Structure 1
């Protein structure tokens, strides 16, 4: 996997990082100190300083808040060892190697989601009410990350992801405990939030490597009347505007230069009543998930930019397929809007880096979700520390180059590229069906379902890759015995393209490993010629079937396309064997 990652990195477009000068809002643009426009491209470091249950396969544990996850861990191994686990988690989840790799991909910015409790105490734990305790370990972690981003010429954007008390009814986002006063139900929580931003601004006022202050992530709260709409129907948003105004004033007491970013209610999308905003060095962040990637989907925020002469930033997006990533980024960059996708890594496949947990993790998840027996304290501790000290580290993550390619190359260059070196020597070759080319649907492959648009369609969330493994395209991929990969649910009309590099060319018999209860015809097309048909009989188990006639490969590059013309089933391998 590491060799494959290095080979693919060489094929990716590298985008230059912006120079390290202060960013500011200049009317509808984000510019540097020379007045040159800066298009931010980056990732959010979700899961590091704030855990959400779904990133750990724990969405069913309560509502997925971090405090519930921590309590479940402490219940198994004790509070002292739980603290040891969280210390190791913070030490290992994101390190300089992660930031260096983002820079090599061509990204120029990092969004850091902060949990306030790493920087200050909750209001109920302050020794003196109304007086803030600052936790230096949390600030030192920001300092370290800033050093890593500056070493790569990247901007660091500070994002208050979990504010004191919690800013919304989507509980895991802000680690909110509904049994305690929220941000909006406590004047003291709001005071602490304002004080925290003043302290952050005081510490980083002279740091051009800090790109902006994203002052409150995804507020989602009904102010005027309860309704469970997460603030999506609010028309005034007066408490939110007042808080933003107070935070901006506190920042400007100590920092006149850094750009401020504000987000609308309704998960960063409802700006009614928030504009105009008095501080002119302010940008608007909108968030975009699971909707169509057409002009209509961003028409509202484009109108805000035009009306109020404020820059736009797609501050959070992701959790979808490569098709969706490519189309969303292409859409916003067409309108000179930068972006930060979410997240860099998690336990899951649709992000650049995937945490592959040790086998004991599945047992812990089964216990916590009432699907398995309770592990011993020693077993749980060993599993948790293996996760925090080993599994989450950069060098042990699974790199998904197809995701990075979809974000950084494909919006500008949709041509197909090799996913893996597929060389064919005189002795032939064995090609994994899952090693089809990199590129968009319709270019490198075609699949019936290629993205999740449920917000726009109102339909159930779609699974574009039914196996949820290996690659993030529409092609369905599954793992068999011994971790072997194969294309599953391959149905009529779908196809995959492979770039083969043949040494000297030659004639090769083609053998395909397939599995289908119903059978049907497959087609093989070489270099755009007439397709050859392979009739697959329906029978249980894997079959090895050979085309009737050999194929003649040219010296150098060849394009082979495997398609279903009526076949429904699975494909594992294509073998090219020297023809006699």
Structure 2
């Protein structure tokens, strides 16, 4: 191991190692690996649905061959070495509860999930990189969107004690597994919670903290804010933070994720420059600054386009955010490391076997606006405009949690109604694929077969070595 990693703890506004040295976490998220997301690997809808359809089309042997290879090749030794070469010192590892437990056998934990996680934690540690363990998809779904493996628009996790009990049970097992592993910086137990009442979340966090501390009193907890880690009002009744805890904000700047054409410039009628981006950051991190606890931005970063000439202003936005975080002493984890070309530092090559098979459907997704993340609804305004008009007339005050009417309609129409038949077509492309061919398709995500977004890498390398 090039660097002997030490256990981190919270000391005032800093994370410190066992020698008392401040450690600023600077890293990436490993999205799309143990928690698949549609824009990362190109499928429509949510992970459970596409896996079920792929199993139906491919059969068990080819299905297992594909996912065994995918889970190995998506992140391996060469990936860890590449991140270390950039100066990255931490990786947030998102995972889906389904790797550890089946819904038909609740509370019966599966060793293979822990083994997969162990492999990457160990790989990263060999290259001097900390891991942050992130439960990204919870049973019952903790938010209203696809990235919690939600096939609906309802977050049932907050309504049923059964789901909460299973998450506590899983984290007790994870804490027991990693309590003596200093290369794990800490536990991020609920990604982007979205509790409509704001009342269940604080009580659940306190319950979870007690359960984890009973097993592992030493590791740091990274607790996300409500409303997709942007809102900390649920802590107003708790002026004192939990011990050895970092409260984490997600800080996607609007120009980077909306259909902006320039930065600095106007996005959705508002002018954005560095000062506006900084004000958003300050608003989202007010609780941390008020309580004198460390600041860690668990997700942020612009989406890019296939036209690399459009990268320049997006990279300027990224540079501004990195500069703001440095000035305010914030750690960060850029979203995301690897994908098919939207946000990743590296991505599957356009001429890879995988994209040769599904690329036409990825283009169809874009045309139909099925992914709202980084996508456009321009091609289906003929559907959405009449719906918006009807709501203007009949339900003008309708503003459902968490983001209001138009994003709500986008989930129902784009991510559910249109995604369901498109997922069937996506899975059809894999019908009759042999086990050996399945392995070749998955190998499209191997590091030596991916392309690098060089400009993005240079921004990170320059910042981290500056």
**Offset at 1:140?**
1.0
Q: Which residue of 2 aligns with 1:211?
A: 185
Q: Which residue of 2 aligns with 1:339?
A: 332
Scaled by the length of structure 1, the TM-score of the pair is: 0.60
Contact 1:21–1:32 (8 Å) recurs in 2: yes
CA change 1:370–1:280 in 2 (3 A) is closer
Cα distance in 1, alignment partners of residues 110 and 228 from structure 2: 28
For this pair of structures, how many residues does the alignment match?
A: 372
CA change 1:300–1:73 in 2 (3 A) is same
CA change 1:207–1:276 in 2 (3 A) is farther
Alignment of 1:292-331 (within 5 A): 292=272, 293-294=274-275, 295-320=278-303, 321-331=314-324
Cα distance in 2, alignment partners of residues 81 and 180 from structure 1: 33
- When Rg is computed on C-alpha atoms for both structures, the one with the higher figure is 1
TM-superposition CA deviations, 1:325-377 (whole Å, max 9, x none): 21111111111111101110000154211112321222565694688995572
**Offset at 1:409?**
0.8
Q: Which residue of 2 aligns with 1:513?
A: none
TM-superposition CA deviations, 1:18-66 (whole Å, max 9, x none): 75111111122211122221111111110001111111233xx3xx210
Q: Which residue of 2 aligns with 1:56?
A: 41
Q: Which residue of 1 aligns with 2:409?
A: none
Alignment of 1:161-176 (within 5 A): 161-170=136-145, 172-176=146-150
Contact 1:330–1:412 (8 Å) recurs in 2: no
TM-superposition CA deviations, 1:412-450 (whole Å, max 9, x none): 76xxxxxxxxxxxxxxxxxxxxxxxxxxxxxxxxxxxxx
Q: Which residue of 2 aligns with 1:387?
A: 441
CA change 1:141–1:48 in 2 (3 A) is same
Cα distance in 2, alignment partners of residues 153 and 288 from structure 1: 26
Residue 201 (structure 2) pairs with residue 244 (structure 1)? no
1:254 is aligned, of 206, 215, 219, to 215
Cα distance in 2, alignment partners of residues 361 and 384 from structure 1: 13
Cα distance in 1, alignment partners of residues 426 and 42 from structure 2: 15
Cα distance in 1, alignment partners of residues 296 and 135 from structure 2: 16
Contact 1:219–1:268 (8 Å) recurs in 2: yes
Which structure has the highest helix share of the two? Answer: 2
Residue 232 (structure 2) pairs with residue 283 (structure 1)? no
Q: Which residue of 2 aligns with 1:43?
A: 28
TM-superposition CA deviations, 1:432-475 (whole Å, max 9, x none): xxxxxxxxxxxxxxxxxxxxxxxxxxxxxxxxxxxxxxxxxxxx
Report the 3-state secondary structure (helix = DSSP H, G, I; strand = E; otherwise coil) of the residue aligned with 2:177. helix
Cα distance in 1, alignment partners of residues 40 and 57 from structure 2: 20
Contact 1:29–1:37 (8 Å) recurs in 2: yes
CA change 1:364–1:83 in 2 (3 A) is farther
Report the 3-state secondary structure (helix = DSSP H, G, I; strand = E; otherwise coil) of the residue aligned with 1:398. strand
2:462 is aligned, of 400, 409, 421, to 409
**Offset at 1:72?**
2.9
Cα distance in 1, alignment partners of residues 178 and 5 from structure 2: 14
Q: Which residue of 2 aligns with 1:360?
A: 357
CA change 1:42–1:371 in 2 (3 A) is same
Cα distance in 2, alignment partners of residues 206 and 376 from structure 1: 42
Superposition RMSD in Å: 2.6
**Offset at 1:306?**
2.8
CA change 1:303–1:394 in 2 (3 A) is same
Structure 2 portions without partners, runs of 5+: 255-271, 304-313, 365-420
1:184 is aligned, of 149, 158, 165, to 158
Residue 360 (structure 2) pairs with residue 377 (structure 1)? no
Contact 2:143–2:155 (8 Å) recurs in 1: no
CA change 1:325–1:354 in 2 (3 A) is same
Q: Which residue of 2 aligns with 1:195?
A: 169
Contact 1:286–1:316 (8 Å) recurs in 2: yes
Contact 1:76–1:380 (8 Å) recurs in 2: no
2:225 is aligned, of 250, 264, 267, to 264
Which structure has the highest strand share of the two? Answer: 1
